[in-house]
Amino acid sequence: MKQWRFIHSGFCHPFTNMAIDEAILIMHGLGRTPPTLRLYGWRPPAFSLGYFQSAKEALNLERCRKHGVLFVRRITGGGIIFHHDELSYSLTCFRDEIKVFGPVKETFIKICSFLLNAYRKLGLKPHFLREIKRFELKKSDFCFASYQDYDIVIDGKKIGGNAQKRKRDLIFQHGSIPLSLKIDTFLPFLKNRPENLKEKVYSLEDVLERKITFMELSEIIRKSFEETFSIHLIRQDLTTEERELSIKLKEDKYSRLDWNLRR
């Protein structure tokens, strides 16, 4: 059975989270670290912007400043996400390490199969959007209100969001799984507020009709990943190189307004 590294970071600062993800990507691309699945949370809560989005167009920056709400730009595309009560994952590997080939959309669907497996372990019936003909594809600045073929839906509502970056055969994918959705908390900070959002999106608390903890979902995700890809996850920490690089990336990139504001 193949072996991957498993990193459980717990709750990290938004800038730290994005810096760690990129440090893992860089070091694995250089062949200095094993393929890695990382699970983490966000503390404090924050918005993340897709790489091609404009913070000035997506967010009320004055309101964010007044209330101390942070935002950070990702290295992946997609729409803006408010990370609050959720579990995030990131996956870094070469294509042959997870046996996914073909166009980006197809690799999305194969990689996200471990999420479907996790939802099934919770007694849910998830589907990819492309399997449900009545759905209409829609684009939105806000990730959870945008509908693409490879998005996951449960009982007609989207749950979570995923984004991917490719460098030839190197794959980086991360995603957000909301434990609960604080819609009334984050909507006032968006410039383009999606309508009827509560009717379009689910959190796990909504669909399960009970609270689920960060650690409970972490264990389900870990087991699902191992079963889906026949991979044994070995719990380890960041290497010294990764840790030093993540600190540098946080200071020189993710904490700087010129990165987070620029388009």
Catalytic residues, which ones?
Answer: 143
Cis amide leading into 44 (omega within 30): yes
Tokens 């990336």 belong to which residue?
Answer: 249
Among 236, 250, 111, residue whose Cα is nearest residue 171? 111
The alpha helices in the chain, defined as continuous H runs, are 14-29, 55-58, 61-67, 95-98, 104-111, 113-121, 183-186, 204-208, 214-229, 240-249, 257-261
Burial of 170 from C-beta contacts in 10 A (0-12 / 13-18 / 19+): middle
